[in-house]
Amino acid sequence: MQGTSDNGRNSSVYYGKLNNYVNGEWVESKSTQIREVVNPATGQVIAHVPLSTDQEIEDAANTANEAFRAWRETPPVVRSRYFFKLGALLEENFEKLSRIIVEEMGKTLNEARGEMRRAIEEVECACGMPILMQGYVHEEVSPGIELKVIMQPLGVFFMVPAFNFPALVPLEYMPYAVAAGNTYITKPSTEVPITQTKIFELIDKVGFPPGVINMLHGSSGVVDKLLENNLVKGVSFVGSTPVGRLIYRKAAQHNKRAQCAAGAKNHFVIMPDADIDKTVSAMLSSFFGCGGQRCLAGAVAVTVGDVYEQLCGKFVESAEKLRLGYGLDNKTQLGPLVSKEHKANVVKFIEQGIKEGAKLILDGRKAEVKGFPNDAFLGPTIFDDVKPDMMIANEEIFGPVACITKVKDLDEALAIIENNRFGHSSLIFTSSGKSAREFEYRTTCGNVGINIGVAATMAFATLGGLKETNFGDLHGRSESVKFFTERKIVVSRWF
């Protein structure tokens, strides 16, 4: 049926049953538990993904552990060379991978391209490992005594990503772990496992030594088994707060390191002196980009003073015009959610909002996309008159649902942010240097945007996160090098 259109809808192909990648080889899982991977726009099954067996999980951990010693003994500058190659291969396959992201996850092609650009930047940043893992030295801490501190890799790490950035999220961790000398297991999301599988084809092409980077398909069973496995040193997780907390605790239970980037409920504060048109444009992208399925997405618009009057109408009007459709269609501005099931969850929140008394001024539930009867599409949805104690103002919805709250001044806006249990992002729109500084200094979030709708960091920085948004003290990107290494102190003297 999608085959009848020319706007990219017929591009869906069937990617087959996905294999694991272990010890430098593609291995078919013997698991009898197989899940379908569905293109959320078309409803087509585009691949099947196995839930790896306990034995396969143990084998992968053993393999990674065996590969560790030789890899750690490979100089960083040589390890980096593999990532220069991987970066070049990703660049070559930029367009192809972008399309796969759209097919399995639903976002628009431009959003997928943005994701790919960032993913490549992570790989490029990890190419700087010789500098990132530089140790330090004090020639003389006492007469004739030298003190040297070296960063050494630890062994096997693994990654449990969220579904929303099929290419990017695993690459916010793996390149740093591996370039630092560790070996690795990526467990892609079962909802979007194809992109990583394709990326592993490039990893295979690069020719990393067998066992250095592995991929296991599967679900919480893989996570549990790897957390219980003594050979594993730590885990990186990106996903919801309840799961993140669980993994953080279980990792500690097994004496492992854990870094868990979890939920968000981001406040978007608009001051009376904000540029209205640019603010609205940033709001559209922040609240509805990637279908609201980003940890950095805006969730609550906090209008300060009388800005509400100028802003609200324009916001709703513009949101209404967003063109819903298949991500591969060039005209599409908003794709489907990742799955019917996820849409159902988001719809429940909308119903809850109505029940709580918020005013539904734009209802995305009625949205329809011709030729795509699959029920994963949800149009932009806006609630007005949202009170800070409503559930929709507090829980992470992870869909294209905006809440509008009015406050009288910046202090009140900051109080709402402080009282929220998440501490991911908060954003301010203003032309005043004073308000921006005040906001940046006082807001209790790890990521702050000033006239920026999505306060995304770069590979060469890190990601922030306070309160229930983060478990652990070291986060992804270049900061994770410390997470993936232990300092070895060498004190020496000669006689």
Show which residues are catalytic.
Answer: 295
Of 142 and 419, nearer to a second copy (C-beta) is: 142
Supply the Cα-derived Rg of the chain in whole angstroms: 23
Q: How many residues does the chain have?
A: 495
End-to-end CA distance of the chain: 82
Residue from 30, 205, 278, 359 in contact with a second copy (CB under 8 A): 278
Residue from 257, 342, 343, 406 in contact with a second copy (CB under 8 A): 257
Work out the number of other CB atoms within 10 angstroms of the CB of residue 309.
10
Judged by CB under 8 A, the stretch of 96-104, 195-203, 378-386, 475-483 that binds a second copy is 475-483
d(CA 24, CA 20): 10
Burial of 262 from C-beta contacts in 10 A (0-12 / 13-18 / 19+): buried
Taking the complex as a whole, how short is the minimal distance between the CB of residue 407 and a second copy, in angstroms?
21
The tokens for 362 are: 């734009």
d(CA 413, CA 313): 21
CB 276 within 8 A of CB 270: no
Place of tokens 């010890």: 23
Judged by CB under 8 A, the stretch of 21-29, 198-206, 248-256, 403-411 that binds a second copy is 248-256
Place of tokens 């942010």: 417
Residue from 4, 32, 366, 433 in contact with a second copy (CB under 8 A): 433
Work out the number of other CB atoms within 10 angstroms of the CB of residue 386.
23
Q: Count the residues of the shown chain that bind a second copy, applying the rule CB under 8 A.
A: 97
Phi-psi map region of 381: left, alpha, beta (phi>0 left; psi -120 to 50 alpha): beta
What residues from 310 to 339 belong to the interface with a second copy (CB under 8 A)? none
d(CA 92, CA 456): 25
Taking the complex as a whole, how short is the minimal distance between the CB of residue 178 and a second copy, in angstroms?
16
Residue from 184, 248, 288, 383 in contact with a second copy (CB under 8 A): 248
User: Is residue 172 within the footprint of a second copy (CB under 8 A)?
Assistant: no
User: Is residue 299 within the footprint of a second copy (CB under 8 A)?
Assistant: no
What residues from 359 to 388 belong to the interface with a second copy (CB under 8 A)? none
Of 66 and 385, nearer to a second copy (C-beta) is: 66
Judged by CB under 8 A, the stretch of 220-228, 342-350, 378-386, 466-474 that binds a second copy is 466-474
User: Is residue 3 within the footprint of a second copy (CB under 8 A)?
Assistant: no
User: Is residue 125 within the footprint of a second copy (CB under 8 A)?
Assistant: yes
The order of strands in the sheet holding 183-186 is 25-27, 20-22, 213-215, 183-186, 156-160, 232-238, 257-261, 470-471
Taking the complex as a whole, how short is the minimal distance between the CB of residue 151 and a second copy, in angstroms?
8
User: Is residue 493 within the footprint of a second copy (CB under 8 A)?
Assistant: yes
* Half-sphere exposure in the Cβ direction for 229 (13 Å, CA): 28
b/e per residue 27-66 (b: at least 16 CB within 10 A):
bebebeeebebbbbbbbbebbbbbbbbeebbbbbbbbbbe
User: Is residue 95 within the footprint of a second copy (CB under 8 A)?
Assistant: no
Taking the complex as a whole, how short is the minimal distance between the CB of residue 241 and a second copy, in angstroms?
10
What residues from 131 to 160 belong to the interface with a second copy (CB under 8 A)? 131-132, 134-150, 152, 154
Of 354 and 466, nearer to a second copy (C-beta) is: 466
Nearest to 326 by CA among 296, 368, 362, 285: 368
Taking the complex as a whole, how short is the minimal distance between the CB of residue 289 and a second copy, in angstroms?
15
Judged by CB under 8 A, the stretch of 201-209, 285-293, 361-369, 435-443 that binds a second copy is 435-443
Taking the complex as a whole, how short is the minimal distance between the CB of residue 487 and a second copy, in angstroms?
5
Which x/- pattern, by CB under 8 A, does the window 446-465 give for a second copy? xxxxxxx--xxxx-xxxxxx
Phi-psi map region of 300: left, alpha, beta (phi>0 left; psi -120 to 50 alpha): beta
Of 51 and 251, nearer to a second copy (C-beta) is: 251
What residues from 52 to 91 belong to the interface with a second copy (CB under 8 A)? 73, 75-77, 80, 84, 87-88
User: Is residue 128 within the footprint of a second copy (CB under 8 A)?
Assistant: yes
Taking the complex as a whole, how short is the minimal distance between the CB of residue 17 and a second copy, in angstroms?
35
Taking the complex as a whole, how short is the minimal distance between the CB of residue 272 and a second copy, in angstroms?
13
For strands 156-160 and 466-467, give the pairing: unpaired
The tokens for 119 are: 């993913």
